[in-house]
Amino acid sequence: MTMTTSRALFRALISASLACVSATAARAQEPFPGLDAYITKAMADWKIPGVAVAIVRNDSVLWAKGYGLRTTGTGDRVDDKTLFEIGSSSKSFTATIVAMLVTDGKMRWDDRLTTYLPTFQLYDPVANAEVTVRDALTHRAGLSRAELSWMYAGIGRDEVLRRARFLKPSFPFRSRWQYQNVMFVAAGEAAGRAASTTWEDLVQRRIFEPLGMATSLPLAPRNRSGIANVATPHAIRRDTVYTLTPMPMDNAAPAGSILSNAHDMAQWLRFQLGDGTFGGKRLVSAAALRQTHTPQMLMGGGAEGGAGEGDSLTRFSTYGMGWMVQDYRRNLLWQHGGNTDGMTTAMGMLPDSKFGVVVLSNMYGAQLPSILMRYIFDRQLGVPLRDLSAEALTRVATQRRRADSAERAQAASR
């Protein structure tokens, strides 16, 4: 190698290094003034141990950052690679996997589930004869939550699906939207059978690998001692925060088992906002993916999203497939949250603005992820700022005072 070649190579390496530093600095730069301080204060107010936030705009990651602790009482900090349970946000992955198989010609939305799961049965004879893949992905089979049929039951997915035949419907088939996890298990297992593999293998090969979601896991193991950077589940009762044992989700994996982080979930938002393309490569047909973002069932309307009484930020609310399709301040919104025993996720996109947000937390039933997501949406939309966190805290405090007063009155009357 000549001296001239060596110098040229050295200059190229320096230039590449500076480009990487510049890209990192851009991601580290606060996307909206005061956002960092707002998140930090809101976490302290709500007593949330750890949060991770990712913001995407126009196929670029604006922000991917962790806050707080992976486990309360330790020095283990959350960063953008810290893994959290995303719970039911996993449903968007299951619906997209089906869209990919529809693209491949291996599945059709309106195929009967028994095409792929010959022994699958439902209690209602009409539903049993007609239930389709689309029905399973849209929460319209007429079944109630029926969580005790699988949660902490110590059974596998085959048994979860076998038990579906004993679940009496609470509403007529296809008459109304009713959230239901078992039917998403059926959809995921049907996808695995259609591709002659498993749901978790499809998620790994068709989504995680091409999107570079290198540290995400399709199945969140209950024993996480071998995972270096993972958040611990927490709950809070009467202002005391305590840790929980991770929730077993293998038997309902297509409904909510994915373990991911802010960095990887940002790629997921880029892919969804990119109409099924990533890095210049199409991974699913635009038509098939668009079906998942298209309203399939009416959920409801009125004041949604914690806006407060008489202050409606959401006027219509529908369900697509794996996504809630709504409006937010008269802007189209695709979103799906997730809850497990100890963690809460909020994930949403404003597709017309090519803007997406994901907020991960290690607290059971936390309001804060949804609040932060909407606060960041407000910053993007340029609407008059409101302290959504403080407003929600005031409502919660009022509710607690009423509950405590009722409890004291009940105790005194015994």
Return d(Cα 283, Cα 268) in angstroms, integer: 12
- Contact present, 369 and 359 (Cβ < 8 Å): yes
Return d(Cα 222, Cα 249) in angstroms, integer: 8
Place of tokens 């200059």: 11
The closest alpha carbon to 132, from 162, 106, 108, 111, belongs to 111
Q: Which residues, in sequence order, are bridge partners of residue 54?
A: 64, 358
Report pLDDT for 47: 97
What are 311's two structure tokens?
């202050």
Return d(Cα 267, Cα 212) in angstroms, integer: 8
Q: Does the reported pTM lie above 0.85?
A: yes
| Residues 243-276: tens digit of each pLDDT | 999 999 999 999 999 999 999 999 999 999 999 9
Task: Kindly give the confidence (pLDDT) of every residue in the chain, 414 residues in length, as a single tens digit, with 9 standing for 90 and above.
Answer: 444 434 443 343 333 333 333 334 334 589 999 999 999 999 999 999 999 999 999 999 999 999 999 999 999 999 999 999 999 999 999 999 999 999 999 999 999 999 999 999 999 999 999 999 999 999 999 999 999 999 999 999 999 999 999 999 999 999 999 999 999 999 999 999 999 999 999 999 999 999 999 999 999 889 998 999 999 999 999 889 999 999 999 999 999 999 999 999 999 999 999 999 999 999 999 999 999 999 999 997 544 443 343 356 888 999 999 999 999 999 999 999 999 999 999 999 999 999 999 999 999 999 999 999 999 999 999 999 999 999 999 998 887 777 666 777 788 888
Query: What residue ranges in 8-158 does DSSP mark as E strands?
Result: 50-57, 60-68, 84-85
Report pLDDT for 403: 67
| Residues 48-58: tens digit of each pLDDT | 999 999 999 99
For 152, left (φ over 0), alpha (ψ -120 to 50), or beta? left
Report pLDDT for 404: 66
